[in-house]
């Protein structure tokens, strides 16, 4: 297993299979590389099926035990089932998707080896959903969630980015997962430094505080310094007697990396772009490492290099100045930095 100089073991990889997407979400940062809504047809710059599998085989050599496939929209790849089927057996396979292609494919994905799925769903009203995603596919997303549950994926996590447009929808989303068995809610802090709209940001601590007031139980996870809240839905009865396993109780987790040095100190994942570049940190674009022609020796060398050069974004790459503001740490600006 490879470990960076801060003692962070790399146990997982997040592989973008395409930057194409059939949505145009207003908060999209395309895995830190910038907003895009490209053509729907396969592109020449995407890693081939064999390239992806070859990379995963090398990652498995370094004891990586989990892979999450992302995009863009990864289900625009018609070879997704084959990629999952050929993923090394030691790896847990998960998928982040907008859900529109799950109907008709969910069972095949599970048969291929998919174990978990995250479905992006930022609102429960079609008009609100369309305003955020620039898509009229609300009903198809709901159908996709049902298809995932029907295929045996449990839990199905609903990803909701929390910012000015969506913060008011949080209570009804909490009720929704509490009242529907098999669903969990993952609230993702908006990242203004990647999206370029700082005016949309909200104080995520307000959401933590509200959930803490409602929660039956709170769990603190070491991974990324995350908190999980078990909350009873508005229809739940006998609140004082509820437990996390009671009907009508939902689990809500907050992913809040912004200005969170503890989050970065517990990051154990390397990213791969759809073009075949390794990326040690979501927030950075000056640490991209090409894997050459994708031969196994080239992949091994690049993987070792990117892990060796990983640094926590907050606390090392970005440090606080005398005024308590985050600023770039010049020590970690490499030759490829674009400042």
- Alpha carbon 72 to its chain centroid, in Å, reads 11
Enter the tokens of residue 312: 């926590």
Binding site, annotated residues? 14, 21, 25, 27-28, 68, 72, 96, 120, 157, 264, 267, 269-271, 281
Between CA 101 and CA 71 the distance in angstroms is 13
| Cα torsion 56, 61, 62, 65: sign | positive
The Cα–Cα gap between 42 and 162 comes to 31
The DSSP secondary-structure symbol of 225 reads G
Which of helix, strand or coil describes residue 274? coil
User: 145 and 183 in contact (C-beta within 8 Å)?
Assistant: yes
Known binding residues for [4Fe-4S] cluster are 21, 25, 28, 264, 267, 281
Contact, 242 vs 251, CB < 8 A? no
Annotated binding site for S-adenosyl-L-methionine: 27, 72, 120
* Under 8 Å between Cβ of 144 and 106: yes
Site of tokens 């395309």: 30
Q: Which residues are annotated as a binding site for GTP?
A: 14, 68, 96, 157, 269-271
């Amino acid at each position: 297993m490879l470990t960076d100089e801060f003692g962070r073991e790399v146990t997982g990889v997040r592989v973008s299979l395409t930057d194409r997407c059939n949505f145009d979400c207003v908060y999209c940062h395309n895995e830190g590389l910038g907003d895009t809504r490209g053509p729907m047809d396969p592109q020449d710059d995407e890693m081939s099926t064999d390239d992806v599998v070859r990379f995963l085989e090398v990652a498995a050599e370094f004891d990586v035990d989990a892979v999450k496939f992302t995009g863009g929209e990864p289900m625009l790849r018609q070879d997704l089932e084959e990629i999952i089927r050929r993923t090394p057996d030691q790896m847990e396979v998960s998928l982040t998707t907008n859900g529109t292609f799950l109907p008709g494919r969910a069972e095949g994905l599970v048969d291929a080896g998919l174990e978990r799925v995250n479905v992006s769903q930022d609102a429960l009203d079609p008009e609100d959903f369309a305003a955020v995603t620039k898509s009229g596919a609300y009903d198809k997303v709901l159908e996709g969630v049902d298809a995932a549950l029907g295929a045996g994926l449990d839990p199905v996590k609903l990803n909701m980015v929390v910012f000015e447009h969506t913060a008011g929808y949080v209570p009804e989303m909490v009720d929704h997962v509490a009242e529907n068995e098999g669903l969990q809610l993952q609230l993702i802090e908006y990242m203004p430094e990647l999206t370029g709209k700082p005016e949309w940001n909200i104080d995520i601590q307000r959401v933590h505080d509200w959930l803490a007031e409602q929660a039956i139980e709170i769990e603190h996870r070491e991974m990324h310094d995350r908190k999980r809240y078990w909350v009873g839905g508005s229809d739940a009865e006998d609140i004082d007697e509820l437990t996390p396993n009671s009907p009508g109780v939902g689990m809500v987790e907050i992913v809040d990396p912004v200005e969170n040095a503890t989050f970065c100190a517990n990051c154990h994942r390397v990213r791969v772009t759809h073009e075949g570049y390794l990326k040690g940190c979501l927030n950075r674009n000056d640490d991209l490492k090409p894997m050459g022609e994708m031969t196994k020796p080239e992949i091994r060398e690049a993987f070792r290099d990117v892990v060796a050069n990983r640094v926590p974004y907050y606390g090392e790459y970005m440090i606080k100045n005398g005024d308590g503001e985050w600023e770039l740490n010049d020590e970690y600006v490499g030759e490829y930095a674009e400042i």
